[in-house]
Amino acid sequence: MIGTSNKDIATIKELIRPYKSFFLIGCGDCATVCKTGGEDQVKQFSGYLEKDGKKVNGWAVLEEACDLRLAKKLFREQESAINKSEAILVFSCGSGVQTVAEITEKKVLPMLDSLFAGGIENLSNFRELCSVCGDCMLDITAGICPVTRCPKGLVNGPCGGSNEGKCEENTELDCAWYLIYSRLKQRDEIGGLRKLRKIKNNRANSKPHKIKLQKK
Amino acid sequence: MDIEESLRKKIFTVTAELAPVKGTDLSYVVSEAVKIKDKIHGINITDNQRAIMRSSPLALSRLLVEKGISPICQLTCRDRNRLALQSDLLALSILGVKNILMLTGDTISSGDHPQAKAVFDLDAITLIATAKTLISGKDLAGKDLIGKPNFFIGAAVNPGAEPKELQVLQTVRKIEAGAEFFQTQLIFDKQVLEEFINLFEKEYISAEKLNLLAGIFPLKSSKQARFFNSKIPGVKIPDFIVERLESSADPESEGIEIAWELIKSLRPFIRGVHLMTMGNNRALEKLIDRINLEIIKPNVSG
């Protein structure tokens, strides 16, 4: 799940200031879970725009804003309302914003900041778990990702700032390498850690990635 | 005599530390180094310490070499990727620098450029291994070098950090990667170091391999002691020291005396000391003179 947060209100005011009429697009997937781009949020923002004297020609929540087919379908079905709008506001992660921007000449504005790929602890708590680095070492680190959970992203940690299982950068944060060490120790697998001298393959993370499934 | 030689000859080794200037005028720092050059075995040159931008340690290291002083050039992995780290290691050798201290690096957010990109392409362990690779005449891509460097490789250890087993493990990994001497984070309590060394010897090998220099800081006041206790991970200043400083009429001199007593008590466990006096030149000179007079000149080994 991609974690998103609302851009701050001052930034949003600045983004929409030059325009008078809008079409709003939300996302039914991650942004709905994060309560940043679901139906409630889109409707609420629509109300805010109208109170501000702006015109809202329509809104929709795509099942997934990053699905080009769904975006194209929406633009066919809502062609008239979208054409009347000076700008399109997208309440989704950057993937959704770019998918919409690809199929229109109209001004497309991101309403959110995309923060991380993560997991749902419960419906109010989301945490970053995966850095999408392409060089997964979770087999060696007892299922705990140091690239993500160590602020320095160290693959041979801990560093000299680790103390009592906490991180020097943020003393409320558990030291990821302390967690890894503890779990490996429990499983009697410390020998592997002693031998570990990993050098990261950053090429696995070179952008932009593409996946093409082979037709069988 | 430089640190490699003093450690090899088992002479009580003393190193100090200097930071390059944020700017181009290094004249004061160089003159400070010249003042102490004949009384110590090496001077660490820090590398954007605490992520505060300063001129590269390569420049100050070279200036010290030109004055006949032996620098120990620190390099961190925070600001450079593996290409730049190899380049700078080769450059150090070209500039006549042999002694190096390989560090992971303090966090970017603690410095004066908190929005900068933190690199950490390598870390202390793999940086040590990289220096060894270059010494063997190849780079990390396996290509042959035209002219090989020679380094005496050092690393850092924090004996007060918990759990101690994890610190011991990291230290062993650094030795196995090629580290030949260690400087510790600040020590204020002999027991902390003793426990670390006992665990190290129990788990792995003789502490001889550590070539350990204890990090020593002469405290100036009880307020400073309390600040260190709360801010530096793994640093534990015992209450009785804080009280001594509090009740002294001249806490600065008391701090120097406390540091000297600590050095004497640590002698069974260390090969020398790394004096991190952070600009307190009076304390630095007093401690260096006393060490030379009472430990080194009587020819008692570390």
This prediction's pTM: 0.92
Q: Chain B contacts of A198, Cβ < 8 Å?
A: 126
The residue of chain A with its CA nearest to that of B109 is A169
The residue of chain A with its CA nearest to that of B175 is A194
pLDDT at B280: 83
Report the gap between the CA of B29 and the closest CA in chain A (Å): 27
CB–CB of B154/B99 below 8 Å?
A: yes
Q: What confidence tier does B128 reach under pLDDT thresholds 50, 70, 90? A: very high
- Taking the C-alpha atoms of residue A209 and residue A142, their distance in angstroms, rounded to an integer, is 27
First to last CA, chain A: 29
For B126, which of A162, A194, A197 is closest by C-beta distance? A197
pLDDT at A133: 92
Q: Chain A contacts of B160, Cβ < 8 Å?
A: 163
Sign of CA dihedral B251, B253, B258, B263: positive
Three-class SS of residue B267? helix
The residue of chain A with its CA nearest to that of B184 is A160
Structure tokens that stand for A86 in this block: 């000076």
Q: What confidence tier does B235 reach under pLDDT thresholds 50, 70, 90? A: confident
Structure tokens that stand for A1 in this block: 């799940």
CB atoms B129 and A158 under 8 Å: no
User: DSSP assignment of B165-204, as one string?
Assistant: HHHHHHHHHHHHHT--EEEEEE---HHHHHHHHHHHHHHS
CB–CB of B18/B57 below 8 Å?
A: no
Query: Which range is most confident: A168-177, B51-60, B280-289?
Result: B51-60
CB–CB of B232/B215 below 8 Å?
A: no
CB–CB of A177/A145 below 8 Å?
A: no
- Taking the C-alpha atoms of residue B268 and residue B297, their distance in angstroms, rounded to an integer, is 18
Query: Within an 8 Å CB–CB cutoff, is residue B110 touching chain A?
Result: yes
pLDDT at B300: 53
Mutate to test the interface with B, among A131, A168, A193, A205 (most CBs of B within 10 A): A168
**Which residues are B100's β-sheet partners?**
B73, B153
pLDDT at B296: 86
Query: Within an 8 Å CB–CB cutoff, is residue B52 touching chain A?
Result: no
For A202, which of B121, B124, B157 is closest by C-beta distance? B121
DSSP state of B78: S
Sign of CA dihedral A190, A192, A195, A200: negative
ipTM of the complex: 0.92
A100-145 residue pLDDT tens: 999 999 999 999 999 999 899 999 999 999 999 999 999 999 999 9
Selected residue with higher pLDDT from A206 and B73: B73
Query: Within an 8 Å CB–CB cutoff, is residue A118 touching chain B?
Result: no
Report how many Cβ contacts below 8 Å link chain A to chain B.
83
- Taking the C-alpha atoms of residue A184 and residue A20, their distance in angstroms, rounded to an integer, is 59
Mutate to test the interface with A, among B103, B104, B183 (most CBs of A within 10 A): B104
Q: How high does pLDDT run on average in chain B?
A: 94
Structure tokens that stand for A191 in this block: 């020998």
B6-54 residue pLDDT tens: 999 999 999 999 999 999 999 999 999 999 999 999 999 999 999 999 9
Q: What confidence tier does B226 reach under pLDDT thresholds 50, 70, 90? A: very high
Q: In chain B, what percentage of residues exceed pLDDT 90? A: 88
Q: Minimal CA–CA distance to B122: which of B71, B145, B88, B161?
A: B88
Mutate to test the interface with B, among A133, A135, A140, A156 (most CBs of B within 10 A): A156
Three-class SS of residue B67? coil
Q: Tokens 């040159």: give the residue.
A: B45
A147-176 residue pLDDT tens: 999 999 999 989 999 999 999 888 899 999
Single-letter amino acid, residue B209: K
pLDDT at B302: 47
- Taking the C-alpha atoms of residue B286 and residue B254, their distance in angstroms, rounded to an integer, is 12
Query: Within an 8 Å CB–CB cutoff, is residue B301 touching chain A?
Result: no
Helices (H) and strands (E) in chain B, counts: 11, 8
- The dihedrals phi and psi of B78, each to the nearest 5 degrees, come to -75, -35
Q: Minimal CA–CA distance to A97: which of A34, A24, A1, A18?
A: A24
- Taking the C-alpha atoms of residue B240 and residue B90, their distance in angstroms, rounded to an integer, is 47
Q: Tokens 């991380």: give the residue.
A: A116
